Chains A and B, each alone.
Chain A
């Protein structure tokens, strides 16, 4: 037992050294944990930012001018006045996402309490912005109209107020979400690539035979790859979280980083196992790359870290419950955004461990079989 642990330890140090000399992978890892995280944090894809808006002003009143002035940066670009005949063409070519049509006599009708309607054309193909923007526009138009009406007579207030609080991310910033989810996706991506590449490298260089001729077991060799590459990724995750996210991007992390790191380590057992499994299936690095795209991309994309899990078709939701990446995203959000402790996230931890054990066993079995029948 001590012998086995010592073997795994020394082989794992070799793995780390090998990785540090593979400049392509090292470069990929540094890029993914620094620049790529930074670039993703600059994205505003989930917020309403610089939305292109045009107004057909058929009223030309103080109210219509007031509405136009109420569309402010950073949410909207300055509205552009267009004529009604241009609307279709502008929307067809995606020049504007929103086009407002303020009807003639709008201001007069508001004052007369005839409840006139402003028409908003939304390019509904503009994914996330369309829905969020429509809500903002509705709010702005209603508020402006109410204010205008109130100059004439005071409007009665609503009998029931609504206080909406956005918890954990009060300004609803995409950068918070994207940078953390970027790190989470990196862990999955790099664990698979590094562990898979470690297996392929050994096979391509013919050193696998050499290892198997030593008093080592395939189990020890595989565990060393898991431990070595897992350690590299754990350190990179921690550095990225503290230096890039906290120090450079100044994003507050409410939860316990050590608890998150423990979770990352548990998850790495799973993801490196997948990497080893793919490394035994692929015959060359390019094949590993193509397999990676087919396996890891869906695993990352459907884990709930990019789009809401509950909007996926039900069968897909059930399938994804079997993937630890789903639980990983779930506890990462819980710990880092919402400050959850072990008392809250232990079920996810347990689920990750359970699936990881199964995949670890599968990967080891496959590794043993492939190494036993390695063809030079």
Chain B
């Protein structure tokens, strides 16, 4: 177990840029843009002679007189603000994990440092699994922590701005649910692991197998097959559903590292107001994706592809 921990640390050292710096930089840019937005709002507001809070006490009154339902809506809106930063970071995370997996078992063969790693008493299985763990647990965990912190900072930024206008936003803020947001985000990591596995497995298989240009193989192969299927369909000689192939295979082996894909397997998403929508997106609800065949077929396929990756890792040398 100790070896595994150090293997994961090794991955983190090598990919600090993608795992840590990428989400932090994204968060910083996100916060900066929001700050610029707030400043713009302030300046424009002043130029237009519109004084929030002081000029009219509407907002103030509003916060006092919110009925139950609107309070929920405001709380949900604030929660959305917190989610929004994580959503942006999630997209970055998707790209980071995609390219990480693609290089994980290829880069060290290319620069021959595999000869060093293989001179240590570490099994190929442990090596590959440590990389899977880094991609599906370490990277998303860091992204979620950074995302949640960014969300909280953003909430405070809005609160401070509003309080400059005499609005008691601390009351407003107390309507939001930071803990629930964080629980939902952290709680979806296990779901992410299961959902992302087929993509991670496919990319790592290509990464372990390709003698050169793993990206081309990983992308061109499934896309090429899809085009051939489409062509046969046009000719009417083959009866494989195009749509099924693109959504059930290509999207799963290339796109599932982007978080949230599992919502396609969750029924009853939506609602009349933001609070309801959010609650259908909550972690408790989204775990109903665990009941879908799509998810488990993906996991089974991933197990096979990772076994293949381990096998290639064993026998592909640098020559």
Instruction: Report whether chain A binds chain B.
Output: no
Residues of B at the A interface (CB closer than 8 Å) are: none
Contacts from A to B (Cβ < 8 Å)? none
